[in-house]
């Protein structure tokens, strides 16, 4: 069964509106609904991760960031964001690895996921 992308996108826009005015908790809850509706929704996972990071929920942010990089392993922004999440968690080795992948992508390379 295909997700209702119109409803998902409407929710995503609503969450972005909350985020724009600083309502991080509200935005996070709605981003969660987006990815529940469509677990393959890259933009939802990425936005959820960044909102969680802004809210200080670093561990969960990393989980969302990992989902984003799994869905789009060659997305520069996803790897850069994941690196920031790892830095915030004090996980420097993982942050450097994610940063390295972002660097490869910035130079036109590709990232292979095992």
CATH fold group of domain 5-106:
1.25.40
pLDDT for the residue numbered 112:
75
Q: Tell me what the pLDDT averaged over the chain comes to.
A: 95
> Whole-model pTM?
0.92
User: Is residue 15 classed exposed, middle or buried when 0-12, 13-18 and 19+ CB atoms within 10 A define those classes?
Assistant: buried
pLDDT for the residue numbered 70:
96
pLDDT for the residue numbered 2:
74
CA nearest to 85, candidates 112, 111, 46: 46
- Ramachandran angles phi, psi of 19, nearest 5°: -60, -40
* Per-residue pLDDT tens over the stretch 49-98: 999 999 999 999 999 999 999 999 999 999 999 999 999 999 999 999 99
Domain extent listing, the chain: 5-106
**82 alpha carbon, distance to own chain's centre:** 8
Q: At what angle do helices 42-54 and 58-71 cross, to 10 degrees?
A: 160
User: Within the chain, where are the H helices?
Assistant: 5-20, 24-37, 42-54, 58-71, 76-88, 92-106
Please enumerate in sequence order all residues whose Cβ is within 8 A of that of 12, keeping only pairs 6 or more positions apart, or say none: 30, 31, 34, 41, 43, 44, 47
């Amino acid at each position: 069964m295909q997700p209702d992308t119109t409803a998902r996108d409407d929710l995503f826009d609503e969450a972005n509106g909350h985020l724009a005015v600083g309502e991080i908790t509200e935005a996070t809850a709605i981003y969660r609904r987006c990815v529940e509706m469509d677990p393959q929704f890259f933009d939802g996972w990425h936005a959820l991760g960044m909102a969680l990071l802004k809210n200080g929920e670093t561990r969960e942010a990393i989980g969302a960031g990992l989902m984003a990089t799994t869905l789009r392993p060659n997305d520069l922004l996803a790897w850069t964001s994941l690196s920031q999440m790892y830095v915030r968690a004090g996980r420097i080795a993982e942050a450097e690895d994610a940063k390295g992948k972002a660097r490869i992508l910035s130079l036109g390379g590709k990232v292979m996921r095992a």
